[in-house]
Chain A
Amino acid sequence: MPLEAAIAVHRFGLGARPGEIEVAGADPKGWLVAQVGAADQPRAPDGSVFPRSGVLVRQEQEMIAQRRAIKAGDPDARKKLAGGRLKIFSDEMAGRFKLGFTTKRPFAEHLVWFWNNHFTVSTTAGRTLNFAGAFEREAIRPYIADRFENMLLAVTSHPAMLVYLNNNASIGPDSQAGRLAGKGRNENLGRELMELYSLGVDGGYTQSDVIALANILTGWGLDSNAPSGFGFFPNRHEPGAQILRGKSYSPDLRGGIQAVRDLAHDPRTARHIATKFATYFIADKPTPQTVARLEAVFNKTGGDLKALAIEAVEDDAAWKPKPKKMRSPMEYVTAGYRMLDLPGRDDDGRQIRDAMVSARAMGEFPMTAPSPKGWPLTSDAWSGPDALLNRIEWAKRIGGRVLPGFNAAAVAAQCLGPLVTSATKVAMARAGTQGDALALLISSPEFQRR
């Protein structure tokens, strides 16, 4: 079994499903490159397609109206409404988990995870619970092999982002609505759009640029009549051209779109994205050469994300045999489920729910990062004592579920192949039960990493 195939499946993919290393075996790089296209869409637990954002915006507005109608002294009814939102999010994430466990395009799915985390929308404040799943489906999945500017525009105009970073509450102080209501702008999206999503914190912008971009984005809000859920509201838009980083933008939607596109094409953005991409897929501290290659291809192709992904695959630094990057809890749970071909065919959703609770207990759950910076990209975030103990406890629990006749050594050979160390093989052979042998495999240094 070729080492390269195992590396492709574990480092760029999401961990091997039975037989996957053989599939990748003939041409591991070709296997990865062939996956780079618009990502697949998850389905709801009942198999149905999730609704578009326009529908969700309308639902949210109805919920808010209902909430207002409920008397203040009726906490049960309020709780029930909140529970409805939670169920929408929980179902979306269940679909996403399942896709991660079963997909035959794991590199595409891994790219989705990267970009989702880069453009973090978190549900921790509750207000985005309805839209978070739609955010990934509509603003990330279609664009992972598209141009960065298109993804940046989809992200910036998505209801989830507009709610998360408060742009729907940002009103131009001199706009019609601003003068009437005495309300004003909110800097949150303007700042993070440059600091986190495009230029990077050292991207050479000032506080007045933050204010200019916030002004440019005033009026970008939620419209339940649009299928996308997005609407531009001129009465909230700050009048007058805005100067952002030395360039003037017209006070309308067109000016805003141009500003987002210009940010996407800035060389600082290329540098920022290249560094994060290399840190996520290749090494906690990528070499300057790796970053420079990715940066160059981003600049040369005008931000073609397909070219970026292929360039990473082509980098020799990505093919070092020893796995260096600690799997995040999502990657860890997913690799475990893929190796064991879970959930089984007739699973009623329990296995998925269990994986969701486990990932969260280990410290990571999609779209619940504590801040817009997202989940950390480097290994030290996931190797702390308490984090590690939780992972080992989970491994032991998974081991406790194997059925009679299970052969851990065979699974190790099939799904890790040349990556399994002899120390792990020896320890597994000495284990008292097949379940313990599996738990040791899942706990092993080579399975903790990718």
Chain B
Amino acid sequence: MKLNRRSLLQSFAAVAALGAGDARARFAFAATPGDRRLAVVILRGALDGLAAAPPYGDRDYASARGQLALQTSGMGALHDLDGFFGLHPSFVNLKMLYDAKQLLVFHNICSPYRDRSHFEGQNVLESGGVQPHLLQDGWLNRALQPMGIGSGDRALAITQSPPLLLSGKVRTGSWMPAVMPAPDKLFLNQVRALYAHDPVLRDSLANALALQAASQNAMDDAQSMTAGSNGQMRIGGGFGSLTPLFQGAGKLLAASDGPRVATLEASGWDTHVAEGAADGQLARRLQALDVAIDSMRAAMGPAVWNKTAVVMATEFGRTVHPNGSGGTDHGTGGAAFLFGGAVRGGQVKAEWVGLNSGALKDGRDQPARTDLRALFKSVLAEHMNVPARALESKVFPDSASAAPIKGLIRA
């Protein structure tokens, strides 16, 4: 195995030697929710990691990527990070976060899933199991109690219903920018009474009502997402605007008595055709994501942003070489991101083995050299004070091979 001079991940053995006792001592007060904020962003559809974070210094980069290769100078040049890796030109705000040492980029990273189905891949990514459908709830839900979060108003999904990632024993909330005027309280109380003996609807409505109050100011500038002023639908625009969702999440997370954990998601990454390089469909989607992330940062304000970590991952990467239609097909390893004011950023962490065909999985995919669970575990441990024992036994069972990566979060 040829190791690159890039900052390498700690050897797993060295981290494992730390032991659980140390973590327990350090996180003795983990029983109540602190005021740290954690957001998890799922990019559904398999983001092309080589487009998002191009390893332009690799000698095989230009030839392997062909028409998808990004330029290092001129119009639409990529943003250099460390002389070897860069960021896609659309990632203007992420580049600023990197320069402010608030962004870490991970490469050749993937969940334990090794086949190429989106839906199984997302199931593994969200459930935290080693195989699809092995676990019925989400790893983030299993981490809530160890964080001291036992009820729904502290954990929030920015979707109509919580995704698998946040589903499980602890009931969690969900919120979207309002699209219809809310009915009056009196009527809602009547409905609540009607749901008294229906646990699913009762709890769901109670949660929605609790969030409604909290979200009033988040809704102020979130735009209506579905109906235009003349009632005509917006369908052709594609995957919908991300900014109202991220901005709303930022505002809700900013409240001192509001949620501490949020999940967000964005789709539109399944670029089988005409992916484009500096310009094109993927570039536009990455820009929308970049702008949305910045709107979340702004909505939080500096004080809350400094207590925030956002981890962003996708179910797997895409093929290294372009396919026959200017796109990429389903692959294995890819990129992940960790950012926020609480992040000890300014680095790319990758066990890089090159892009020549011999180094690729099945001669086509980026290999998976780092387990995404290692990243998730470190964030939960260092940022949200989840004890090591809970991480190993409950949150990520069978994850001993994916020891947490140290030093991702500011003390």
Q: Which of B180, B270, B329 makes the CB contact (< 8 A) with A371? A: B270
Compute how far the CA of A126 lies from the CA of B268 in the bound complex, rounded to whole angstroms. 12
Q: Which of A423, A427, A436 makes the CB contact (< 8 A) with B197? A: A423
Compute how far the CA of A125 lies from the CA of B118 in the bound complex, rounded to whole angstroms. 17
Compute how far the CA of A427 lies from the CA of B195 in the bound complex, rounded to whole angstroms. 11
Q: Does B193 touch A at the CB level, under 8 Å?
A: yes
From residue A343, how far is it (CB to closest CB) to chain B in Å? 15
Q: Does A256 touch B at the CB level, under 8 Å?
A: no
Compute how far the CA of A183 lies from the CA of B324 in the bound complex, rounded to whole angstroms. 4
B167 nearest in chain A by CB position: A380
From residue B127, how far is it (CB to closest CB) to chain A in Å? 14
- Which stretch from A29-37, A187-195, A265-273, A410-418 is at the chain B interface? A187-195
Q: Does A24 touch B at the CB level, under 8 Å?
A: no
Q: Does A55 touch B at the CB level, under 8 Å?
A: no
- Which stretch from B143-151, B234-242, B367-375, B377-385 is at the chain A interface? B234-242
CB atoms of B117 and A195 under 8 A apart:
yes
Q: Which of A354, A371, A386 makes the CB contact (< 8 A) with B208? A: A386
Compute how far the CA of A360 lies from the CA of B225 in the bound complex, rounded to whole angstroms. 10
Compute how far the CA of A170 lies from the CA of B194 in the bound complex, rounded to whole angstroms. 54
Chain A contacts for B183, CB-based, 8 A: 392-393, 396, 439
CB atoms of B201 and A207 under 8 A apart:
no
CB atoms of B180 and A393 under 8 A apart:
yes
Within 8 A of B (CB), among A380-399: 380-390, 392-394, 396-397
Chain A contacts for B191, CB-based, 8 A: 392, 440, 443
Q: Mark A197-219, 1 if CB is under 8 A from B, else 0.
A: 00001000001001000000000
- Which stretch from A11-19, A60-68, A82-90, A291-299 is at the chain B interface? A82-90
- Which stretch from B16-24, B155-163, B293-301 is at the chain A interface? B155-163
CB atoms of B205 and A82 under 8 A apart:
no
Q: Does A176 touch B at the CB level, under 8 Å?
A: no
CB atoms of B233 and A370 under 8 A apart:
no
Q: Does B44 touch A at the CB level, under 8 Å?
A: yes
Name, among B195, B212, B268, B323, the residue most crowded by chain A CB atoms within 10 Å (CB to CB): B323
CB atoms of B161 and A387 under 8 A apart:
yes
A439 nearest in chain B by CB position: B187
Q: Does A286 touch B at the CB level, under 8 Å?
A: no
Report the interface size for chain A: residues with CB under 8 A from the other chain.
72
A435 nearest in chain B by CB position: B187
Chain A contacts for B324, CB-based, 8 A: 169-171, 173, 178, 183-186
Chain B contacts for A380, CB-based, 8 A: 161, 167
The range of chain B's interface size is 35 or more
Q: Does B231 touch A at the CB level, under 8 Å?
A: yes
Q: Does B15 touch A at the CB level, under 8 Å?
A: no
CB atoms of A381 and B161 under 8 A apart:
yes
Beyond A380-B161, A424-B194, A440-B190, is A394–B180 a contact (Cβ under 8 Å)? yes
Compute how far the CA of A436 lies from the CA of B194 in the bound complex, rounded to whole angstroms. 13
CB atoms of B159 and A384 under 8 A apart:
yes
From residue A428, how far is it (CB to closest CB) to chain B in Å? 9
Within 8 A of A (CB), among B166-203: 167, 173-176, 179-183, 187-188, 190-191, 193-198, 200-201
From residue B94, how far is it (CB to closest CB) to chain A in Å? 24
Q: Mark A141-171, 1 if CB is under 8 A from B, else 0.
A: 0000000000000000000000001100111
Q: Which of B162, B181, B204, B235 makes the CB contact (< 8 A) with A388? A: B204
Q: Does A365 touch B at the CB level, under 8 Å?
A: yes
Compute how far the CA of A205 lies from the CA of B181 in the bound complex, rounded to whole angstroms. 49
CB atoms of A397 and B180 under 8 A apart:
yes
Chain B contacts for A439, CB-based, 8 A: 183, 187
Chain A contacts for B267, CB-based, 8 A: 124, 370-371
From residue B6, how far is it (CB to closest CB) to chain A in Å? 29
Chain A contacts for B181, CB-based, 8 A: 393, 397
Chain B contacts for A279, CB-based, 8 A: none
Chain A contacts for B200, CB-based, 8 A: 379, 383
Compute how far the CA of A315 lies from the CA of B157 in the bound complex, rounded to whole angstroms. 37
From residue B235, how far is it (CB to closest CB) to chain A in Å? 6
CB atoms of B116 and A207 under 8 A apart:
yes
Compute how far the CA of A353 lies from the CA of B200 in the bound complex, rounded to whole angstroms. 31
Compute how far the CA of A385 lies from the CA of B324 in the bound complex, rounded to whole angstroms. 43
Compute how far the CA of A440 lies from the CA of B272 in the bound complex, rounded to whole angstroms. 46
CB atoms of A389 and B212 under 8 A apart:
yes
Q: Does A357 touch B at the CB level, under 8 Å?
A: yes
Chain B contacts for A365, CB-based, 8 A: 233, 235
CB atoms of A125 and B188 under 8 A apart:
no
CB atoms of B235 and A368 under 8 A apart:
yes
Compute how far the CA of A131 lies from the CA of B141 in the bound complex, rounded to whole angstroms. 41
A360 nearest in chain B by CB position: B226
Q: Does A434 touch B at the CB level, under 8 Å?
A: no
Q: Does B227 touch A at the CB level, under 8 Å?
A: yes
Compute how far the CA of A118 lies from the CA of B163 in the bound complex, rounded to whole angstroms. 21
Compute how far the CA of A365 lies from the CA of B225 in the bound complex, rounded to whole angstroms. 14
Q: Does B330 touch A at the CB level, under 8 Å?
A: yes
Chain A contacts for B167, CB-based, 8 A: 380
CB atoms of B226 and A357 under 8 A apart:
yes
Q: Which of A186, A371, A424 makes the CB contact (< 8 A) with B273? A: A186
Q: Does B120 touch A at the CB level, under 8 Å?
A: yes
CB atoms of A385 and B325 under 8 A apart:
no
Chain B contacts for A431, CB-based, 8 A: 190
CB atoms of A201 and B160 under 8 A apart:
no
In the assembled complex, 22 residue pairs joining A and B whose CB atoms fall closer than 8 Å, in A order, are A126-B236, A166-B325, A166-B327, A171-B325, A185-B323, A186-B325, A210-B116, A353-B232, A357-B231, A363-B160, A370-B267, A373-B118, A380-B161, A383-B161, A385-B175, A385-B208, A386-B161, A389-B182, A389-B208, A423-B194, A439-B187, A440-B190
The 4 closest A-B pairs by CB, nearest first: A384-B161, A184-B324, A169-B325, A385-B208
